[in-house]
Amino acid sequence: MKLWKRAVPAFSCAGMLLVQTGCGFSASPADGLTFAAPPGWSASPGIMGFMQFWRPPSGDREVLMLFRSPKPLRASDVFSTQQLHGTLQSVTVQHRGTIQICDRQPASYLQGRGHSSKGEENVEMVMTTTRGTTYMALYVRPLEQAPNAAAEAAVRELCAKP
């Protein structure tokens, strides 16, 4: 009984802290960035500020994803062929290189094709470090579908808000 009496205040404090910081559990990794999903796309709840997905009103094969890494990453690690094969089935890299976003901010770009259970997919990825934090955005769509211009632009908007 004494243990329970001592535990109640500790659990109460922990609960209050959780309530006060609970917003962080659904925070978006886009907070603080100029990144914006296309109008009308539905957002998943942010996952502890590290990951979020957006989908268009129609179609279940198109998706925009944004990740914020808890530690700095190198493009050579993320965009390695071995790492990509662990993420996407049968990925074929079409183009890989360095681009400039956000007024000459360097970023790594990769465009490729992969297979999913629903068919061939086109994948565009951009990764950059903004204010010491590494972000990666992906736009995946069916290969036979024309790209959504706003989604293609969004993956390049990993810029810090002024």
| pLDDT tens per residue, range 35-63 | 999 999 999 988 888 899 999 998 778 99
Question: What value does the mean pLDDT take over residues 140-144?
Answer: 93
Contacts of 103 (CB under 8 A, 6+ apart): 159
Strand partners, 99: 107
Q: Domain with 147 in it: what CATH number?
A: 3.40.1000.10
- Specify the pLDDT at position 15: 41
Assigned domain for 36 exists: yes
Question: What value does the mean pLDDT take over residues 106-112?
Answer: 93
Assigned domain for 7 exists: no
Angstrom distance (rounded) from CA 139 to CA 153: 10
- Specify the pLDDT at position 18: 41
Of the chain, the percentage scoring pLDDT greater than 70 comes to 75
Burial of 77-113, coded b for 16+ CB within 10 Å and e otherwise, reads ebbeeeebeeebeebeeeeeeeeebbeeeebbbbebe
Assigned domain for 67 exists: yes
78 or 120, greater pLDDT:
120
Assigned domain for 20 exists: no
Identify which of 155, 30, 143, 130 has the alpha carbon closest to the alpha carbon of residue 88. 143
Q: How far is CA 5 from the centre of its chain?
A: 44
Spatial contact of 113 and 85, defined as CB atoms under 8 Å apart: no
How many domains does the chain fold into?
A: 1
- Specify the pLDDT at position 6: 42
Q: What is the domain range of residue 99?
A: 26-154
In the numeric block, the tokens 């993320």 are attached to 78
Assigned domain for 70 exists: yes
Assigned domain for 116 exists: yes
Assigned domain for 161 exists: no
Assigned domain for 141 exists: yes
